[in-house]
Amino acid sequence: MKSTRQCSRTSCSRAAAATLTYVYQDSTVVVGQLSAQAEPHSYDLCALHADRLTAPRGWDVVHIHQDLIDAGPTPDDLDALARAVREAGRPAPAPLAPVAAPVASEPRRGHLRVVASDA
């Protein structure tokens, strides 16, 4: 399955190629095929990070063997890029007409008032 999801590792912008899941009960890390949908308790990894993965001390790593190939851009990615370029090329909308300021002879109606003192 091709994906537009990115690697979960900080500062990595590569496309996701595998899904990492922790099995806490068995102290096991499983790295396998990219899941069809992003799951809240799993992490998407690019091929580079999936191959270099190390687990915490005492944990086992299970790699479900597959060729982790970066799929590159999909037709959806290219379509989104074309739409963004078209949108950026559109002329800017005309600015709105400025609102006229109240004339000095008209009293300003704000939330504060001057109250004359009877003293």
Look-up: residue for tokens 């008209």? Answer: 106
pLDDT at residue 1 tops 50: no
Pairing relation of β-strands 60-63 and 28-33? parallel
Cβ 17 vs Cβ 69: under 8 Å: yes
pLDDT at residue 59 tops 70: yes
Which tens digit of pLDDT belongs to each residue from 2-55? 447 889 998 898 888 889 999 888 899 999 888 888 888 899 999 899 888 888
Determine the Cα–Cα distance for residues 109 and 104; give it in Å rounded to an integer.
12
Residue 66 or 17, more confident: 17
Element (H, E) at 19: strand 18-23
Q: Identify the three-state secondary structure at position 89.
A: helix
Which tens digit of pLDDT belongs to each residue from 73-88? 667 777 777 888 888 8
